[in-house]
Structure formats: C-alpha cells, structure tokens
C-alpha cells in the first residue's frame, strides 16, 4: 500500500509541476519585452491592445497580445525575441472553408458555433470552434477538414 501511495503522490506532484510550467500571467502591455512590442506594432499597425499575457511552455516564455485589428478580435503570440508564433483571428462562419464547415457539421451535427477562429502559424492554418449543444465544447480542424482535436 505505501508503494502505491508514493507513486500516487509522485504522479500528483508531476501533474502539478506540468500545470505550473504552463501558467499564464496577465501583463501590462508596457511590461511586454520591447522586441515583442516593436514586432507587434510593425506587423499590426493601428491595432487597439486589449490585454497581454506571458506563458511558459516547455521552458520558453511566449507573449500573447489580445487586440482589435481591422475590426476583428485577434490573439497574437510572439517569442521573447519578437518572432511571430501564431495569429488567432475571430472570423464569421461565412469565411470558414467548405471542407471545414462540412466536417464540423458531420462531427457535431447538433452543435451551435459560438465562436470561430482562424489560426495561422508555423506555415499552417487551422480552424477552431467554440461549441454549444454538443458533447465537446471545442473542436479544431485542419484547413482540409480533418478533426485535429476536441475537448
């Protein structure tokens, strides 16, 4: 019994460490590194900053800037050196590619989409949906309509 208890405690400690390793903390925009602010302001000129956060993933700190740009909501993630990681853009369903919309309807026929996002980064594009009325609350598809994840 003590051996099983020790393994259980170790598993809980590892899970807690993993959770702490991926914590997001809110920041004032002025506290975002200068390289990130400069890259953001150059690539998204005229954007209205709504918030900022830092998150540590696999030992690297990433910075996310939430903004309104060109009349749309965006979450933009940068590395500390100012290099762009990804752009999440809220889009209307009318802009979701037909293969993705068809796959969404097939996988989640009773779901209502409350938010659709186009996610660009690393040379790929994906689409993520917040759902209501389905067993899953979130689903992510590749640009060709393959289900990548759901939770």
Each domain of the chain, given as residue ranges in start order, spans: 24-150
- The domain over range 24-150 is classified in CATH as 3.10.450.360: yes
How much is the pTM? 0.81
Give the pLDDT confidence score for residue 36 in this predicted structure: 98
SS3 sequence, the chain? CHHHHHHHHHHHHHHHHHHHHCCEEEECHHHCCHHHHHHHHHHCCCCEEEEEEEEEECCEEEEEEEEEECCEEEEEEEECCCCEEEEEEEECHHHCCHHHHHHHHHHCCCCEEEEEEEEEECCEEEEEEEEECCCCCEEEEECCCCEEEEC
Segment 44-91, tens digit of pLDDT:
999 999 999 999 988 899 999 999 999 999 999 999 999 999 999 999
Is the model more confident about 42 or about 23? 42
């Amino acid at each position: 019994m003590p051996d099983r208890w020790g393994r259980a405690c170790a598993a809980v400690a590892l899970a807690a460490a993993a959770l702490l390793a991926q914590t997001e903390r809110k920041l004032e925009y002025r506290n975002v590194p200068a390289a990130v602010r400069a890259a953001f302001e150059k690539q998204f000129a005229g954007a209205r900053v709504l918030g900022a956060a830092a998150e540590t993933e696999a030992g690297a700190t990433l910075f996310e800037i939430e903004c309104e740009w060109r009349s749309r909501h965006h979450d933009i993630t940068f590395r500390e050196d100012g290099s762009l990681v990804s752009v999440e853009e809220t889009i209307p369903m009318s802009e979701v590619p037909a293969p993705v919309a068809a796959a969404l309807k097939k996988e989640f026929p009773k779901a209502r989409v409350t938010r659709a996002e186009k996610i660009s980064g690393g040379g790929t594009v994906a689409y993520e949906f917040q759902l209501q009325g389905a067993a899953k609350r979130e689903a992510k598809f590749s640009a060709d309509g393959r289900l990548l994840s759901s939770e």
